[in-house]
């Protein structure tokens, strides 16, 4: 599905590019993005806010054009036999499109970290401080989910970066309509239109984009595991992979059944991509059969398909189908839950660290000791204790907007926000 890739380009654009592109069109896009990024780095927060507001207004003006383009993409994708999952991600309803236009408006209103300084230690003859700066140029690589291109573009402009969008073939008409609207908004705000550019979904172009190490500093990829794998295998630039699904929940011996049911159901509500959906549940062997059957009946009534390991299927075959060994590694990205029995929190931790996608896992327990063991042992980016891991791009009352969730084992883990598009420069004054 969707993948995001961020590119950062050096601001010293007067020298020739050190990695010449074999594709003239991509070389032109890169050069234009560098120049646009240089221009954006000299703008202030107020100017960027006005540019994002103009982009959102232009999207609203192109509302019907975008929906018509989306209809073309849906018709072509159905004829090509595109999976139901991608069709669900691809389909823009008027309500969904308006929600993301509103989100872009909200993004423009957020406070910016650009230019903030942090004074460092001072000696007798020098002073050190650090300042937050944009990366340069961002490339967003994604599947379907065309509205995410607009949010990624808004986040890039907000932080002073230009962006290159690379969506999938299935959404090419919708992506192009959105790009035209975004560029129109930039022009009306007297910003360089090339701060937002869309490239063709050509595999060779993607490979080139991911190997321009002198111009591209970060790649954010967002989509199904197949896309994430492709990007991580091809990229020589730094990447920030987004993860979806295959989140685990450990249900301790004393955990509340109703809380487990709520966490599972609520985590699948995200639209259209339930990023933190719980798809695997580890059950303490001391759990009684009554609570198990009550949970499974409730989930079945809500349309979930249920699977289990051999031990559970042997005892509760009327509720569960057998989960194959390979399923524990991979997300279903559908309303399917697989259950597995474990002897305690230590086995749960080992199982999660082995099989989970590693971006969001949770525990439901009344034991403080189990909670502490779980948090200390789990290697996931985000851990939820007796709470739903449901993902919000913008939760009501929050002052932050998130593009996705990353399981990257580096400084940028968890929710992908504005800080992911920024870097820190250290300055020493004599």
What does the alpha-carbon distance between residue 3 and residue 244 come to, in Å, rounded to a whole number? 10
Biggest CA–CA distance in the chain, Å, is: 77
Name the residue with higher pLDDT: 216 or 30.
Answer: 30
- The kind and range of the H/E element at 208 are helix 203-210
Share of the chain above pLDDT 90, in %: 75
Does 363 score more than 60 pLDDT?
yes
Contact 427, 131 (CB under 8 A): yes
Q: How many CA atoms does the CB half-sphere of 160 hold within 13 Å? A: 22
Collect all residues with Cβ–Cβ distance below 8 Å to 416 and sequence separation of at least 6. 4, 220, 240, 242, 402, 403, 404, 405, 406
Does 12 score more than 80 pLDDT?
no
108-132: buried (b, 16+ CB within 10 Å) or exposed (e) per residue? bebebebeeeeeeeeeeeeeeeeeb
Would you give the DSSP letter of residue 386?
A: S
Per-residue pLDDT tens over the stretch 267-311:
999 878 999 999 999 999 999 899 999 999 999 999 999 999 999
For the four alpha carbons of 45, 47, 49 and 51, in that order, the dihedral sign comes to negative
What does the alpha-carbon distance between residue 253 and residue 348 come to, in Å, rounded to a whole number? 12
What is the per-residue pLDDT for 330? 94
Average model confidence (pLDDT) across the chain: 89
What is the per-residue pLDDT for 53? 97
Contact 329, 352 (CB under 8 A): no
The mean pLDDT value for 348-374 works out to 96
Does 398 score more than 90 pLDDT?
no
Strand ranges (E), 123-251:
127-134, 137-142, 162-166, 196-198, 219-222, 239-241, 247-251
Of these ranges, 2-6, 19-23, 135-139, 395-399, the one predicted with the greatest mean pLDDT is 135-139
What is the per-residue pLDDT for 137? 87
Does 113 score more than 70 pLDDT?
no
Domains within the chain, CATH numbers bracketed: 24-242+408-429 (3.40.605.10), 247-385 (3.40.309.10)
114 conformational bin, left if phi > 0, alpha if psi -120 to 50, beta if neither: beta
Does 37 score more than 50 pLDDT?
yes
Per-residue pLDDT tens over the stretch 192-217:
999 999 999 998 899 999 988 778 77
Does 11 score more than 50 pLDDT?
no
Query: Which tokens in the block code for residue 88?
Result: 């669900």
Contact 250, 240 (CB under 8 A): no
Name the residue with higher pLDDT: 129 or 389.
Answer: 389
Q: How confident is the model at residue 118 (pLDDT cuts 50, 70, 90)?
A: very low
The phi, psi pair for 288, rounded to 5°, reads: -75, 155
Does 117 score more than 50 pLDDT?
no
Q: How confident is the model at residue 1 (pLDDT cuts 50, 70, 90)?
A: very low
């Amino acid at each position: 599905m969707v993948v995001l890739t961020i590119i950062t380009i050096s601001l010293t654009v007067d020298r020739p590019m050190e990695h010449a592109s074999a594709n003239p069109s991509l070389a032109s896009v890169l050069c234009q993005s560098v120049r646009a990024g240089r221009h954006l780095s000299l703008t202030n927060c107020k100017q960027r806010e006005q540019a994002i507001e103009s982009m959102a207004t232009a999207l609203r003006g192109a509302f019907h054009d975008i929906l018509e383009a989306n209809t073309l993409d849906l018709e072509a994708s159905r004829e090509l036999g595109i999976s139901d999952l991608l069709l669900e991600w691809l389909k823009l309803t008027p309500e969904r499109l308006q929600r993301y236009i509103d989100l872009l408006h909200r993004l423009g209103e957020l406070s910016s970290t650009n230019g903030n300084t942090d004074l460092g230690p001072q000696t007798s003859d020098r002073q050190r401080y650090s300042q937050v700066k944009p990366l340069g140029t961002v490339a967003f690589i994604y599947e379907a989910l065309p509205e995410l291109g607009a949010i990624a573009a808004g986040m890039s402009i907000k932080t002073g970066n230009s962006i290159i969008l690379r969506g999938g073939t299935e959404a090419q008409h919708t992506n192009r309509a959105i790009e035209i609207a975004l560029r129109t908004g930039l022009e009306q705000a007297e910003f360089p239109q090339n701060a937002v550019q869309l490239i063709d979904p050509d595999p060779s172009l993607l490979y080139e984009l991911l190997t321009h190490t002198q111009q591209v500093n970060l790649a954010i990829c967002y989509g199904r595991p197949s896309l994430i794998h492709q990007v991580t295998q091809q990229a020589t630039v730094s990447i920030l992979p987004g993860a979806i699904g295959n989140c685990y929940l450990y249900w301790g011996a004393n955990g509340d059944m109703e809380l487990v049911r709520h966490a599972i159901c609520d985590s699948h509500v995200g639209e259209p991509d339930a990023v933190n959906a719980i798809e695997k549940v580890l059950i303490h062997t001391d759990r009684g059969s009554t609570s198990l059957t009550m949970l499974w009946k409730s989930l079945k009534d809500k349309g979930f398909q249920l699977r289990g390991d051999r031990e559970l299927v042997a005892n509760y075959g009327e509720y569960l189908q057998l989960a194959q060994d390979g399923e524990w590694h991979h997300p279903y990205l559908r309303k399917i839950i697989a259950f597995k029995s474990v002897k305690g929190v230590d086995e749960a931790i080992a199982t999660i660290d082995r099989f989970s996608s590693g971006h969001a896992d949770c525990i439901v327990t009344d034991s403080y000791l189990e909670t502490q063991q779980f948090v200390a042992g789990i290697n996931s980016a985000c851990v939820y204790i007796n709470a739903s891991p449901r993902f919000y791009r913008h939760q009501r009352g929050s002052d932050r907007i998130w593009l996705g969730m990353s399981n990257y084992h580096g400084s940028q883990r968890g929710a992908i926000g504005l800080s992911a598009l920024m870097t820190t420069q250290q300055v020493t004054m004599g």
